[in-house]
Amino acid sequence: MNIHDKSGATAYTPNIDRYQNMNYQRSGKSGVILPAISLGLWHNFGAIDSLHNAEAILRTAFDLGITHFDLANNYGPPYGSAETNFGTIFKKNFTTYRDELFIATKAGYDMWPGPYGNGGSRKYLISSLDQSLKRMEIEYVDIYYHHRPDPETPLEETALALADIIRQGKALYIGLSRYNAEQTTSMTELFKELNVPFVLHQDKYSILDRTIEKEGLLTALEQQQVGCITFSPLAQGLLTDKYLHGIPKNSRASKTLSYLSEDFVNNEIQKVKQLHQLSEARGQKLSQMAIAWLLQQKAVCSVLIGASSPNQLKENMKALDQLNFTEEELTLIDNISLS
């Protein structure tokens, strides 16, 4: 909801019914309850993007009951600019509602030059979070992730640095991203020894990319009672109707520097067409079915989606209107995606 203040500028008052239509799920055995759909700020929130559009997306998200905003130190481009823009938007719109929000950031990949600008060292993790908090102009994050395992740094050093960040009050919870099942189990034991609230693991997962399922990570998380939050649920846009009739100009797959290659699209398009037929029979868009399918997985407590506009966000939220699958539908999805 938008109103105008005395200066004529548009002020923001959130929808009073924002919590009525969102599903919320507990992360593992923790006290953390997340919206079934969370908003990732990897794309469309950097310095090269429209700040007005970014603000509209964030307002729409909160109006829809999305309380979890996911960032990282290197989101942009350029690096750090998504956090800076988020801080600007937060200060203008959400300061009053800070205690209703669950804000995440991460560190692990290249951020600044020199030997201390990436990885999992104590030096890097603490310095990076200090920088992130300054960019966002907030006192703490709700969850701080190590963005990737660092083979050059002992797990004990990374775990202790994250423990101290908790003790310092700079983060309320700790998360891991892209750790495999064995690494996650090792870190879980260290966190238990250090009394660190490790509550969430973030990784790539979709109908077309079931790596974490095949490699046992989902089973490990379920056993350890740690929640899983997934990113790239739409396989970088492949699990939409965008590529059903070829690769459009200016789409991600048409660009040289993209995680979604033409070869991958061509190899997977027949599966996508079959999944599209199933989604139509269910009365859903393919993108909505892909999100709904993830929310059926036992360890998954939230699905991270991106958005280029408020309308796109609203469309993907409709996944929550049809979450149930028959056994026949689930079997068909397995037969298509695992073939």
Task: Output the pLDDT for position 257.
Answer: 47
pLDDT at 245 over 60: yes
Task: Output the pLDDT for position 4.
Answer: 47
Return the sign of the alpha-carbon dihedral for residues 305, 70, 64, 9: negative
Task: Output the pLDDT for position 310.
Answer: 98
DSSP, res 308: S
Average pLDDT on 190-201 reads 98
Q: What is the DSSP string of 91-116?
A: HHHTGGGGGG-EEEEEE-S--SSSTT
Strand 227-231 to 300-305 pairing: parallel
Task: Output the pLDDT for position 249.
Answer: 73
Q: What is the mean pLDDT of the chain?
A: 95
pLDDT at 8 over 50: no
Task: Output the pLDDT for position 260.
Answer: 83
Average pLDDT on 158-173 reads 98
pLDDT at 14 over 70: yes
pLDDT tens column, 62-89:
999 999 999 999 999 999 999 999 999 9
pLDDT at 327 over 50: yes
pLDDT band at 2 (very low <50, low <70, confident <90, very high): low
pLDDT at 139 over 60: yes
pLDDT band at 91 (very low <50, low <70, confident <90, very high): very high
Between CA 122 and CA 108 the distance in angstroms is 11
Better-scored residue on pLDDT, 254 or 119 = 119
245 φ/ψ angles, rounded to the nearest 5 degrees: -120, 30
pLDDT band at 6 (very low <50, low <70, confident <90, very high): very low
Residue pair 172/101 in contact by the 8 Å Cβ criterion = no
Bond prior to 154 in cis (omega within 30° of 0)? no
Give the chain's domain count: 1
Other beta carbons less than 10 A from residue 3's beta carbon: 8
Q: For residues 304, 68, 190 and 185, what is the CA-based torsion angle, rounded to 10 degrees? A: -20
pLDDT tens column, 23-33:
999 999 999 99
- Which of 109, 113, 12, 123 minimizes the C-alpha distance to 60? 12
Parent domain of 250: 2-337
Task: Output the pLDDT for position 40.
Answer: 98
> Which residue shows structure tokens 């846009």?
237
pTM for the predicted model, two decimal places: 0.95
pLDDT tens column, 262-286:
888 999 999 999 999 999 999 999 9
Tokens of 303: 């699905």
pLDDT at 210 over 80: yes
Say which CATH number the domain at 246 has. Answer: 3.20.20.100
pLDDT band at 9 (very low <50, low <70, confident <90, very high): low
Bond prior to 197 in cis (omega within 30° of 0)? no
Tokens of 318: 């409709």
Task: Output the pLDDT for position 259.
Answer: 73
Q: How many residues does the chain have?
A: 339
pLDDT at 148 over 60: yes
Question: What separation in angstroms does the CA of 181 have from each of 79, 102, 204, 242, 311?
Answer: 29, 26, 14, 34, 37
